[in-house]
A and B are shown apart, each in its own frame.
Chain A
Amino acid sequence: MRVLVVEDDPLLLDGLKVGLGLAGVTVDVVSTCADAEAALAANAFDAVVLDRMLPDGSGLDVLKRLRGSGDRTPILLLTALDDTTDRVDGLDAGADDYLGKPFDLDELAARIRSVARRGVGRAAGTLRWRDVTLDPAAMSAIRDGVALSLSRREFSVLAALMERPGAIKSRSDLEDRLYGWQEEVESNAVEVHVHHLRVKLGREAIETVRGLGYRMRDGE
């Protein structure tokens, strides 16, 4: 899961990047409204964590402009202004959730997972494909009652494919999900992760669609 965090406080920004990373989220960070809008225009994110008070304006304006342009990316407002009226304003401006500072890191991660899965039209907290169950909260994978041992990146690739089994994910889609901007992407990283997943789930599980990408094999 790839999330954009818009926050101007360097310590909190660092904490969110590392902390959400521990929860299996790929985090990109920006500190201003302008950077946030540029990032959102250039990349697709599963969710955005948006601070309200930013050095060059209000996060609420970013939110309104984004919703005004038809963007449906799930957005969680993260802010110190947490009067009821502030919450109401934020939610009515198009935010999907609202969390006041200071917050609990685990709760923030859970809320991000929640708005992200709602964003793709899914309600259940776990992902299912055939006999494989993925729990993004615990970052655990179970197949037929047996726990699978997956690395963080393998888990992310599998989760991306299982979100909509049958839909094709291109290599660059998957790379985007796995790596933030600052991270160096090895040219064949996705192939390596898919290879490892096939070893653990069986060759048939992930189908290569030549020239387009990968998908979970349809049917039972």
Chain B
Amino acid sequence: MRSLRVRLFATLIVATGALWLIAAVWIYVGARQEVEHVLDTRLQEAARMVSSLVAAGSLPPKPEAGGPPGLIPEAAGYERQLSCQIWSLDDRLVARSSGAPDEKLSDGGAGFSERVVNGEPWRVYAVQDEAKGIRVLVGDRLGLRERLVTDLIKGLLWPAAFILPLLGVLIWASLGRGLRPLDRITRELSGRDAEDMSSVDAGAAPSEIRPLAAALNGLFGKVERARRHEREVTAFAAHELRTPLAGLKTQAQIAVAAQDPAVRDNALRQVVRAVDRTSRLVTQLLALARLDAGPSNGAVEAVPLGSLIDEVAELCRAAAPDVPVMVDPEIRSMVLAAPRESLMLLLKNLTENALQHSPVGGVVTWRRTAGEDAIDIVDEGLGASEAELPQLTQRFFRGAGSSGAGTGLGLAIAAAAAANCRARIELMNRADRPGLSAQVHFEAGVMSASRQAGMAA
């Protein structure tokens, strides 16, 4: 049974019905005992009463031997239920009540006995009067007793038979009413288009449904925030891609239109630059998308830092051929436990950033940060204003002093890659001279000295 309504309904109806049945059985058993007791007492009383009447001589006249039995006058109400016989001790029927059978109701002595007379079971009480020489038998049909109890139970069950369906209708309707807010929310949600992330109105919903509505609203909020973030990034990406494309097209149109060969050549050179920039931007956007896709970017492996930095420096050489990348011998021997691709992106983008901001004749240096599980790269550029420092790792953020040639993504990629390598980036101005210092702090256990440290040194 998948439906809550049907399940609740069935449970309630079955429980109510069962309760009623148990009550009926209980009452049946109890009533039966009670009826037995009461009727037995009545038999006893009736027998004693008749016996005392006979003893007092009120009835019947002493029958002659062999004469027909006298009739005992009936007390109103006893006619149907009780039968009375008076027998002489020598087994003659002295008298009987009008409804009583002729056959002897009991053979036994005094007290209660049961016997089948004329095919009907009887319960009989006998009183023996030795002085008068008679035995008074008063009995009633067991069938009557049974009917009495049955009627009682029927009286109990009949209303139940009427009330149970009524109860069913009531339960069904009230369940429907209780679940209506759920229906309303369902209808509202199914009628929505995919863009609509507004809150579900819990309204007067019962307290069981409110948490669901609250949870849904919480989820909507999260999805909406994620989507807004995505839209913003997409809008930025569109801007960042369209601008170099616009530059490209403009320069190409100039090259087509220009009469002056110098102007045309310059435009063509700009076209080449624009293509380079655009392709670098696309590469970086893809790198960022990969990093965004999840932290499962390759398995963690032991990467020797020295050779990786050399590789990175070689890759970045084209960006600034005149600026050397120095590496502190102390970190050459370090080994990092990190996904190689992410680590590469981290170091490459930090190195590129440092090279881009270095003046001609400057030096970029990778160092071990003293006293920390960290390495840093310093350049000899202008650094950044304190206000800009926290914004540098935002996507597409370019500092006021930027050359305009950067994509504004490098440090954002470095930050995302750092998170993949269980590291974080801290950017600060150099204390000893103008320039930016980018520190990479690794979590405990990522950075370790190589076993071959001695050999490498």
Contact = CB atoms under 8 A, between A and B. Distances in A.
Interface of A: 8-12, 14-16, 18-19, 22, 31-32, 53, 55-56, 79-81, 100-106
Nearest to B267: A18
A19 B250 contact: yes
A19 B254 contact: yes
Interface residues of B, number: 33
A185 B249 CA distance: 31
Contact of A15 (B251, B402, B404): B251
B395 to A, nearest CB: 13
A9 B243 contact: yes
Nearest to B249: A102
B345 to A, nearest CB: 25
Contacts of A18: 254, 258, 263, 266-267
Interface stretch (B16-24, B26-34, B270-278, B434-442): B270-278
Contacts of B263: 18, 22
A56 B273 contact: no
Interface stretch (B165-173, B198-206, B234-242): B234-242
Interface in B308-339: none
Residue with the highest number of chain B CB atoms closer than 10 Å, among A12, A19, A53, A105: A12
A22 B239 contact: no
Contacts of B235: 81
A14 B269 CA distance: 12
A19 B400 contact: no
Residue with the highest number of chain A CB atoms closer than 10 Å, among B250, B266, B405: B250
Interface of B is mostly: helix
B243 A80 contact: yes
Contacts of A8: 398, 404
A14 B253 contact: no
Nearest to B238: A80
Given A9-B404, A31-B404, A15 B243 contact: no
Residue with the highest number of chain A CB atoms closer than 10 Å, among B249, B273, B403: B249
Nearest to B398: A55
A8 B240 CA distance: 11
22 contacts: A9-B243, A9-B404, A10-B403, A10-B405, A11-B244, A12-B246, A12-B247, A12-B250, A14-B251, A15-B246, A15-B250, A16-B250, A18-B258, A18-B266, A22-B257, A22-B263, A55-B398, A55-B402, A102-B246, A102-B249, A105-B257, A106-B253
Contacts of B197: none
Contacts of A103: 246, 249-250
B70 to A, nearest CB: 117
A38 to B, nearest CB: 15
A11 to B, nearest CB: 4
Contacts of B257: 19, 22, 105
Contacts of B254: 15, 18-19, 22, 105
Contact of B273 (A11, A22, A100, A102): A11
Interface of B: 235, 238-251, 253-254, 257-258, 263, 266-267, 270, 273-274, 277, 398-400, 402-405
A106 B239 CA distance: 21
A133 B238 CA distance: 43
A12 B271 CA distance: 10
B238 A15 contact: no
A32 B235 CA distance: 20
Contact of B245 (A16, A19, A101, A106): A101
B79 to A, nearest CB: 100
Contacts of B267: 15, 18
B238 A11 contact: no
A80 B235 CA distance: 8
A9 B253 contact: no
B404 A101 contact: no
A79 B246 CA distance: 10
A15 B400 contact: no
B242 A14 contact: no
A11 B258 contact: no
Contact of B239 (A31, A55, A79, A105): A79
A86 to B, nearest CB: 9
A105 B404 CA distance: 22
B190 to A, nearest CB: 28
B242 A105 contact: no
A12 B243 contact: yes
A44 to B, nearest CB: 26
A104 B257 CA distance: 12
Contacts of B251: 11, 14-15, 19
